[in-house]
Amino acid sequence: MPAPDIQFQIISDGNQQLHTEGYDATAFYLSADFHEQLTRFSPVIAHAIQQWINKQLATGVQSAEVVLPSLGQHSSPTLIILYQKTDEISLQGIREQGAAIARLAAQHQLRSVVIDLTSGILASNLTLEARIGAWTEGIGLGSYTIQSYQQYSSSASNPLLSITFMLDVDDNSLHLEQVITEAVIYADATNYARDLTNMPSNKLTPTSLAEEAMRLSEAGEMSCQVLGISDIQSLGMGGLSAVGLGSSHEPKMIALHYQGAPQSDVVYGLIGKGITFDTGGISLKKADGMEEMISDMGGAAVVLGVMHALNQLKLRLNVIAIIPAAENMPSGTAYKPGDIITTMSGRTIEVLNTDAEGRVVLADAITYARHLGATRLIDVATLTGAVLVALGDVATAAITNDDAFLSQFMKAANRSGEKVWQLPVYPEFKEMLKSNVADLKNSTGNRLAGAITAGLFIGAFADDIPWIHLDTGGTAWLWKARGMEPQGATGAMVRTLLHYLNDPSAAL
């Protein structure tokens, strides 16, 4: 489930005893110079914190958090202590501390928390606006809980309802409130993408994904077109048609248009892979772990999350979101190894592996985005297992035909804290995609450079249009929670895309 509607507010006063009454908990950040910081507490509390930190130092951890009862020594009944071994903290570190507060609030059923930022020790290299935004984003992301379908669910949503930032500076409250509002939008968009990706495939089909896109368009100032199988075939989208016709749920090509700058010729095309379930088709996957394939529409969820945020941010730019939605199923009507497919672009594909279906549907989606006027392309896809071999579940792989375009995008990734790593595009990799009987083959037939060749297959349909490919095959889904990211869907790349679109030319 998405994070609850947490109310954020700001107060500017260094007198914590005056302002923390009535809150369930007060959170404090302690750094390497914690001895001086402990003078802010009563001797009883300071001693308890000192003992806890000594234990952390003995284990060698770089950061930790704990919840302590105040034992009547503070106006809040509960204290949250966040400790970091260094004196400086990054924006990503702040986000993770915010997520830790949200998790602790859930564990201890805390409804209201005041975060004491009056010590002046937090990240002197970062602006106050950046810090408050990072705290807010982390809290929103850390508050996420996955939806339960149990008849009698024992899992409860996060109880956190209010966060108060206590500052000891004269702040421009209106400006900080705007920063908070934007950070909440970023977190909500990510949580929205997580919800979609976590949905089981019997509840999220190509048709229901299209219905969700229509709902988004009706909720904001966007238009939406959905192509059914007859339109898909009449436009020559042989890739999407072939992959989708193995299922009883017909494929859909979804297009959402956001026009915030009617006078601009620049149109960003965001293309998200929308395979609502992937069995591998005739080239059937192994059974173990196949349940994760509900997440194979993670790219579609990401671009819908971005469009969800654009409805609220009202950015002055133009965006087209394209989602080729289908199920990849084995059946009597499924496409087969050895088939030759003609795509919307006119290029032909030799099918060597029906489990390499994502690149096949994205080929038509890239061409359709160009047909609708996109001038810059970014595709997001849980494309390969090979990316896990290269980067694990830690970083998203990027491939581009325009290094300047990717350079600006990487700056946005650094601002968001999401890890992205560029893969090379040497000519030898493109040679590996050549077919003897078609323009391209959808698989090289071996495991060499699998993430690269898969990305370059998609790039062939971009031609000379600036293009970035993001392979989230390792980052869209986690089997175990980590930092700000929950078990299951992560919504990886929503925030980076929003940071980029919000300011494409911004430096760090």
Radius of gyration of the chain (CA): 24
Measured between its terminal Cα atoms, the distance across the chain in Å is 32
> Shortest CA distance to 328 belongs to which of 263, 370, 383, 387?
383
CA separation, residue 419 to residues 3, 268, 321, 359, 392 (Å): 23, 22, 23, 23, 12
Contact predicate 118/167, CB 8 Å: yes
C-alpha 210/C-alpha 199 separation (Å) is 14
Q: Which long-range contacts (CB under 8 A, 24 or more apart) does 429-435 make?
A: 429/453, 429/456, 430/456, 430/460, 433/457, 433/460, 435/349, 435/350
d(CA 275, CA 252): 10
- Determine contact, residues 429/453, Cβ cutoff 8 Å: yes
List the one residue out of 16, 4, 6, 30 whose CA is nearest residue 114. Answer: 16
**C-alpha–C-alpha distance, residues 504 and 156, integer Å:** 39
The residue whose two tokens read 């609708």 is 372
Catalytic residues: 285, 359
Please provide the DSSP assignment of 320-366 as one string: EEEEEEEEE--STTS--TT-EEE-TTS-EEE-S-TT--HHHHHHHHH
Asked whether the beta carbons of 327 and 345 are under 8 A apart, the reply is no
Biggest CA-to-CA distance, the chain: 80
CA dist., res. 313 & res. 182, Å (int): 7
Tokens of 467: 């293009």
Which conformational region is residue 271 in: left (phi greater than 0), alpha (psi within -120 to 50 degrees), or beta?
A: beta
Query: Beta strand 348-350 with 440-441: parallel, antiparallel or unpaired?
Result: parallel
| Angle at CA of residue 128, ends 104 and 73, nearest 5° | 45
Residues whose CB falls within 8 Å of the CB of residue 61, separated by 6 or more in sequence, listed in order:
85
The C-alpha angle 211, 213, 215, rounded to 5 degrees, equals: 70
Question: What gap in Å lies between CA 272 and CA 378, rounded to an integer?
Answer: 9
Contact between 33 and 86 (Cβ < 8 Å): no
